[in-house]
Structure 1
Amino acid sequence: MNMPYVYDNYDGTYRLNYYRTWPHTSTTQGAYVYTDIDFDTFGVEHTLTIGGSGNKTKSKSIDGAYEWDIVGNYTLNELNNALEPIYKGSSDNKKYVSGRNEKTNLMIGDDIRFNDQWSALVGFNYAKTEEKNYSMNGDRTGGYDADEVTPSVSLIFKPFEDLTTYVTYMESLENGLKVECANCNNNGSVLDPYVSKQYEAGAKYSVSENLLLSSALFRIEKANRYDKDLPNGMKEVTQDGLEIHEGLELTATGKVTDNLTIVGGGTIMNLEIDKAASNEGKKPADTASKMAKLYAEYDIFAVKGLTLTGGAYYTGESYRDGANTDIIPSYTVYDGGLRYKTKLDKYPTTFIMNVTNLTDKKYWRSSTSFGEPRNLAFSMKMEF
């Protein structure tokens, strides 16, 4: 796979790099078992869930599976005609065991129903995760072994039939990131696992049988990861402190009329880096504080089986770097399409046409890559 990365030189030109990877394989074996037990205690209904799951993953890679090539400096008009990079190629096409991962989860949870209005969900999860990475010589290059007991608690209140309100707190043991970056001096290493935390309070209101409105206030705490620039031109993927995401999310899903279906919503967040050795109080890179989308489908009753589809997707401005010195502008892209359902002989068949980025808008998707240009796609699905 070839992937371009583009960097602003701040002089009207851009540095184009190419990152190339060779295929790797992963084999996973897993099993799980869960059981539910229903019982009552003093008029309170319970559904107790007990169970566990586990899996093992073995990854195989090719020596020299990552390459990073600096192609050159170009203006925006020249980028589309940039030279093809010259790759060194892999030094050995034989695959070797590059990593092993084992995960175990044991959980117990109780769905408690006090009455028609009040209920609660209480649970605990024991998670154990082990990661081992190896060089092609079989030497261990990194990894971790961590375990944690994490809780989750929800209190649910239904003032009336169509309205549900809730408050939730939950924790989760997250895997450490494996660094896969040919331009990073810690390529192949594994960052430490961490416990994420989430607080949420929200409400869901059924306007009708087919339309649901929901809102949520939330706070998410997770590890702060960023790329640190080094004097030699390389980077180092670093994990330090916390990313704090606090915000409000509003969504609407369902049928507005008999022939109009919508899926829409928006999120506004306050973002901050906390408890970090550097960039404390700044906003995390490549994370927009405002996002919104509206997707709609309109059935054309005059032509049976024909549906118009379309959407608008907004992403607010974000910062390119942890120091918040460079801004990635906001952008809005539009999609549109048609879907036609019919029968060929006796088989249900669907024809689909989609156009993404209708206006062919040029925008930065992240600090290192452009957004996709306008694309037109056709497909057909037949059910036998």
Structure 2
Amino acid sequence: MKKQQQYRNWLCAALLVSLPFTGYAAEYQLDDIVVTGVRVHEAPISEHNEVPGGQVARTADYGVLGNRDTMTTPFNATTFTDKTITDIQASNITDVIAMDASTNNQTLSGASQAWAIRGFRAQQQDVSFNGLHGIAPRFYTGVEGIDRVEVLKGASALLYGMSPNGSVGGNVNYVPKRAKQGENQNSIKFTYGDGKQFGQQIDLGARTADNKWGVHFTGYHTNGSTSFKDEKINTNSAFLGVDRQGSHSRFYLDAGYVYNNIENPQYRLQFSGITNTKIQDNYIGQNGLPKADHNAKYGLPDTYRHVTEKFGVARYEYDFSKHLTGFAALGMRETKMDYVYNDFRYQAKGNAQYRLHNNNHINKAISAEAGLKGRFQTGSVKHEVTGVATRLAWKRYMTNETGEWTAMNKLTANTVSNYDHSYGWGAALNDSNLLTGVALTDVISTKDDKWTFVVGGRYQHIKQNVNTSGKTYKEHAFSPAFAVVHKLNDKTSVYANYMQGLTAGDLVDNNYANDGEVLAPYKTKQFEVGTKFNTGKYLTTVSAFQMEQAGTLVETRNGREYLTSGGKVRNRGLEVSVAGEPREGTRVMGSVMFLTSKYHKSLASYEGNDVMGTPRWQAVARVEQDIKSVEGLSVNLRANYQGPSYIDQWNTYKVGGRVTWDLGARYEFKGFGGHPMTLRADVYNVFNKDYWNAMSNNPAVYVGKGRTAVVSLETKF
């Protein structure tokens, strides 16, 4: 009740503060103002750069290269707009990026979301915020304060630097909401569904008459049970974005606060004792995988996760001249978490077991970057040279206590109760981490802009102090990159790139016999070729890639498991994506990926096998159609396909493929007082299909949601 009252106070305060701005902006008709200079990370506020249909944008933030148009950029990226986020009624980041078949949902619990890009696992900790790593909420994945979600597919060490958790398959970047010129962003939305969750959201945005200053506020609250048994979520969040657009400078300030409480979350089902031989008395060998059932519960009662996130970023850009721009950014984040959770697994002979964990966690991060971007010409060749220095430091104060494995009589965890998880709070400094680096790039283009070359490199230094083991680890690496894009004509471009991804040596945890060991860093090498088509009605990208990662390997010695860096994984794939409005009133968006992911250098027992949790085929397609006979009414249909994938590295057992269907409708109309209103209704997994998601980090599966529905009503004022 206290948190809800605080939330109401925030909304009231935001309304009072925004009323003068709202009235001021409504009183005058603003003229378009063109801001000159080199914008490093932002697209001009007055620029409408969406592909027809408004579902994706033509531009993306490419880190050190800044905001660029996709047709002149030799990389594969998808930028999902606020329209897509709102129309699919996304509640978290995995809902959004699921619209791209190059991503694969790797969520392992109702409280911990993850995904893979091009077959390589990533987590929320590696999401960048307006191009800056380490600042986005560490554990919270809601998108209510986000205007755009940019998904860069492929290695990106040069562009963004090494991510905090070492993701190499791509990068997800949040673009925060800000006040937009000539657009009414004042709205209230009520949402109900995905179980019995009731949510309220308010957005307030305004700009001054001269368009120099803008303020945007988002307040959000949701509470109620989800579609998984006994799982409940309570969230309060607030996001503030302020910007100033000057003739020679630009300033941005973004801040956020999140309180997220999840009770009795669902968890993955793990397996132990799987080998490359199907043992006759093995439960799985006798009966196959347990049947997927979205009504089953693998989370123990009275487990929970309480998270508080506070973060903010300030960015300043100054044009020294029309040829030279300086930029700097500073961000800070503090995360506090109290987490009581469980493991739930099957042993080889069919015995069900559980064990409890209590994780008390404080994470503090400071992230900064500074650089110069200059433009000049040598003969008929144009250059855009950028030099940038980055620094990301974070500390973890953590106590992670683990209980003993306890046998159960049944697969379901519903019968377990009355256990003790009263571990004490006493989080000491667990580890401190420092990533520093410098990058230099030159974007070289011909006078007619038909050829563009990107050359550059990043020097990355890694330092880790592991207090629990007393070890200090220092290492560095250099990651070069080369890329080229050629515009065949105004509608077609072809491109190629060589990029690297960099991952710090893993800190081995107590799940392995070599607990506390720090593994050497390893690189991921990527080769990619592709083509892009922009017909004016839709945008299509086709790419082929190979990524080879030197990664971890679990080795068994004398019956004990060790985590080492002796393995290699090779991913080869083909991607096709399309988005646009081929004819007025018909909007399409879809993609497909074919991927072969193999253990290239590994133990002989699974050398050449498919990497677990990586399906060969993935596809998603969404069609939205306006109903001409009913003004304001649109209906949509989405199909989601994921092929079979193995649950273990020996490729002994696999989960089957699946197709799920989603249906939705949107109705726009004038409400009381002539205010625009939008009613949205969506049903997901219409045919209530039960299915497993296979995990890529260990033999485990996570049950998918059954049929759910969400209804929302939004009004602008």
TM-score between both structures, scaled by the size of structure 2: 0.48
Pick aligned residue for 2:586 from 260, 273, 276: 260
On the 8 A contact 2:660/2:686 being kept in 1, the answer is: yes
Whichever residue aligns with residue 284 of structure 1, its letter is V
Match of 1:83 in 2: 415
CA deviation after TM superposition for structure 1 residue 349, in Å: 4.9
Match of 2:596 in 1: 270
Match of 1:32 in 2: 369
On the 8 A contact 2:528/2:543 being kept in 1, the answer is: yes
Match of 2:408 in 1: 72
In structure 2, relative to structure 1, the CA distance for the partners of 1:85 and 1:174 (3 Å cut) is farther
On the 8 A contact 1:71/1:83 being kept in 2, the answer is: no
CA deviation after TM superposition for structure 1 residue 273, in Å: 1.5
Question: Following the alignment from structure 1 to structure 2, what is the Cα–Cα distance between the partners of residues 359 and 235?
Answer: 42
Pick aligned residue for 1:201 from 529, 534, 545: 529
Say yes or no: does 1:112 pair with 2:438: no
Paired residue secondary structure (2:610): coil
On the 8 A contact 1:194/1:223 being kept in 2, the answer is: yes
Say yes or no: does 1:220 pair with 2:556: no
Question: Following the alignment from structure 1 to structure 2, what is the Cα–Cα distance between the partners of residues 300 and 17?
Answer: 53
CA deviation after TM superposition for structure 1 residue 167, in Å: 0.9
On the 8 A contact 1:249/1:267 being kept in 2, the answer is: yes
On the 8 A contact 1:71/1:85 being kept in 2, the answer is: no
Say yes or no: does 1:128 pair with 2:461: yes
Deviation per residue, 1:154-212 (Å, 9 max, x gap): 111112111000111011222344556x7555566654421111100000011x32301
Question: Following the alignment from structure 2 to structure 1, what is the Cα–Cα distance between the partners of residues 439 and 472?
Answer: 25
Say yes or no: does 1:173 pair with 2:511: no
Paired residue secondary structure (1:92): coil
Quick check: 164-173 or 291-300, which moved more? 291-300
Paired residue secondary structure (1:24): strand
In structure 2, relative to structure 1, the CA distance for the partners of 1:218 and 1:63 (3 Å cut) is closer
Question: Following the alignment from structure 2 to structure 1, what is the Cα–Cα distance between the partners of residues 585 and 369?
Answer: 42
Return 5+ residue gaps in structure 1 as ranges. none
Say yes or no: does 1:152 pair with 2:481: yes
Question: Following the alignment from structure 1 to structure 2, what is the Cα–Cα distance between the partners of residues 373 and 341?
Answer: 29
Paired-residue identity, %: 24
Whichever residue aligns with residue 523 of structure 2, its letter is V
Pick aligned residue for 1:95 from 421, 427, 431: 427
Return 5+ residue gaps in structure 2 as ranges. 1-110, 112-264, 272-281, 291-345, 347-351, 695-699
Whichever residue aligns with residue 536 of structure 2, its letter is E
Match of 1:365 in 2: 693
Say yes or no: does 1:59 pair with 2:396: yes
On the 8 A contact 2:555/2:603 being kept in 1, the answer is: no
CA deviation after TM superposition for structure 1 residue 102, in Å: 0.9
Say yes or no: does 1:352 pair with 2:680: yes
Paired residue secondary structure (1:324): coil
CA deviation after TM superposition for structure 1 residue 259, in Å: 1.5
TM-score between both structures, scaled by the size of structure 1: 0.85
CA deviation after TM superposition for structure 1 residue 359, in Å: 1.6
Match of 1:9 in 2: 283
Quick check: 122-131 or 190-199, which moved more? 190-199
Paired residue secondary structure (2:427): strand
Pick aligned residue for 1:314 from 617, 637, 641: 641
RMSD (CA atoms): 3.0
Question: Following the alignment from structure 1 to structure 2, what is the Cα–Cα distance between the partners of residues 188 and 6?
Answer: 23
In structure 2, relative to structure 1, the CA distance for the partners of 1:308 and 1:189 (3 Å cut) is farther
User: Number of residue pairs matched?
Assistant: 372
Deviation per residue, 1:44-103 (Å, 9 max, x gap): 111111111111111122341x5575553546xxx3x73236654253212222221111
Question: Following the alignment from structure 2 to structure 1, what is the Cα–Cα distance between the partners of residues 670 and 553?
Answer: 52
Whichever residue aligns with residue 240 of structure 1, its letter is G
On the 8 A contact 1:107/1:124 being kept in 2, the answer is: yes
On the 8 A contact 2:618/2:641 being kept in 1, the answer is: yes
CA deviation after TM superposition for structure 1 residue 362, in Å: 1.3
Match of 2:242 in 1: none
Pick aligned residue for 1:44 from 375, 381, 386: 381
On the 8 A contact 1:107/1:123 being kept in 2, the answer is: yes
In structure 2, relative to structure 1, the CA distance for the partners of 1:334 and 1:187 (3 Å cut) is farther
Quick check: 12-21 or 50-59, which moved more? 12-21
Match of 2:490 in 1: 161
Question: Following the alignment from structure 1 to structure 2, what is the Cα–Cα distance between the partners of residues 311 and 93?
Answer: 46
On the 8 A contact 2:551/2:567 being kept in 1, the answer is: yes
Question: Following the alignment from structure 2 to structure 1, what is the Cα–Cα distance between the partners of residues 708 and 439?
Answer: 45
Question: Following the alignment from structure 2 to structure 1, what is the Cα–Cα distance between the partners of residues 542 and 549?
Answer: 22
Quick check: 12-21 or 106-115, which moved more? 12-21
Deviation per residue, 1:117-147 (Å, 9 max, x gap): 2221111111112223333xxx53x663221
On the 8 A contact 1:17/1:68 being kept in 2, the answer is: no
Deviation per residue, 1:312-331 (Å, 9 max, x gap): 11111122211222222112
CA deviation after TM superposition for structure 1 residue 262, in Å: 1.7
Question: Following the alignment from structure 2 to structure 1, what is the Cα–Cα distance between the partners of residues 521 and 715?
Answer: 45
Paired residue secondary structure (1:93): coil
Say yes or no: does 1:243 pair with 2:569: yes
Between Structure 1 and Structure 2, which shows a larger proportion of strand residues?
1
